Amino acid sequence: MNNRPDKKNRLPAEWEPQAEVLLAWPHAESDWQPILPQIIPTFLEITRQISRFEQVLIATPEPDLVAGQLKAAGIDRTQIRIYPVPSNDTWSRDFGPITVIRDQQPLLLDFGFNGWGLKFAANHDNQITRRLHEAGAFGLTKRESCGLILEGGSIESDGCGTLLTTAECLLNPNRNPHLNKAQLEAALKHHLGAERLLWLENGYLAGDDTDSHIDTLARLGPAQTLLYVRCDDPQDEHFSALQQMEAELQSFRTSTGARFRLLSLPCPQACYDDEGMRLPASYANYLVINQAVLVPSYADPADAIARTTIAAAFPGREIIPIDCRTLIRQHGSLHCVTMQIPQGVLP
């Protein structure tokens, strides 16, 4: 039925109009437990800034506690909806719904989430989209379950049929081992309406648990733009892989055969956890919302350069820094904990 031409899906670009952003709130049973007092202010600030422009949908097993935290922080609740939902963790980008447009109507695609290749427990997170839908969080918008493991952070869309992704993640046998590259491409074209895929074979960040999600390395932007992480330090462990990634990006062409406009993002200084493990700090992990872009900040001299570069890609939008130094202690950043819900998906 879904293969009929009139049922073709389209995956909107992140910079298209949004209804809200989904957050899954940190709690004592999540991996945030040791530093819960430090991470809650980060989530409050993300909520405060997003709610200036659009709604925020919060999934949490502790709705009353979260409501109290919002009130204590002086955050206006009129733009915020809280739903009681159990969760393992907070990485909404990867277990939240991937919303496509079909027949001019939004459709929530609910892909499988297996904890980035069975690395972490995901029994609750894998059900969050379904539970929110059953609770009426998405109104009359339909939900479609997809028999494919796919995380939102592993794909980038320009809204016009081009998908950007990494082979390291999507072709990893810990995701969909029963599919080869051609079969996976066919599945993505079917579900997401992709007309072509741009595969990155190079690029990684130390400390990344996701097998090189694209949203930590390179992002599609308006006007045939590619923003990407560039490393200029030959002594940095990322140097070779990111140089090879840059060469790949330079070789990519738009759907009309033109070169992409390439904007490089700097690498922040190396950040480490208490055990000396490097953390995957990246400016590519920004979030585009209505009239603004939230950009990770690491109290680093490169913060200002990153904001200026991202502002050039999104003219007319307010550029808002979010301190992500605590967030990356769990090996993710700003984009990873958010999932935008396009316009038209409201109760």
Q: In the predicted model, what is the mean pLDDT of residues 306-319?
A: 98
pLDDT tens by residue, 320-344: 999 999 999 999 999 999 999 999 9
pLDDT of amino acid 5: 41
Is 203's pLDDT higher than 80? Answer: yes
Query: Which class would CATH give 5-342?
Result: alpha beta
Tokens describing residue 296: 């990770």
**Helix (H), strand (E) at residue 149:** strand 142-149
Q: In the predicted model, what is the mean pLDDT of residues 251-280?
A: 96
pLDDT of amino acid 344: 93
Give the mean pLDDT of the chain.
96
**Rounded to the nearest 5 degrees, what angle is found at the Cα of 265, between the Cα atoms of 212 and 169?**
10
Q: Domain spans of the chain?
A: 5-342
Q: In the predicted model, what is the mean pLDDT of residues 170-182?
A: 96
Is 32's pLDDT higher than 50? Answer: yes
Q: In the predicted model, what is the mean pLDDT of residues 63-73?
A: 98
Is 7's pLDDT higher than 90? Answer: no
pLDDT of amino acid 8: 87
Q: In the predicted model, what is the mean pLDDT of residues 6-35?
A: 94
Q: In the predicted model, what is the mean pLDDT of residues 74-96?
A: 97
Three-class SS of residue 174? coil
Bridge partner residues of 163 (DSSP): 157, 197
pLDDT tens by residue, 275-306: 999 999 999 999 999 999 999 999 999 999 99
Alpha-carbon distances, residue 167 vs 87, 199, 246 (angstroms)? 29, 6, 15
pTM attached to this predicted model: 0.96
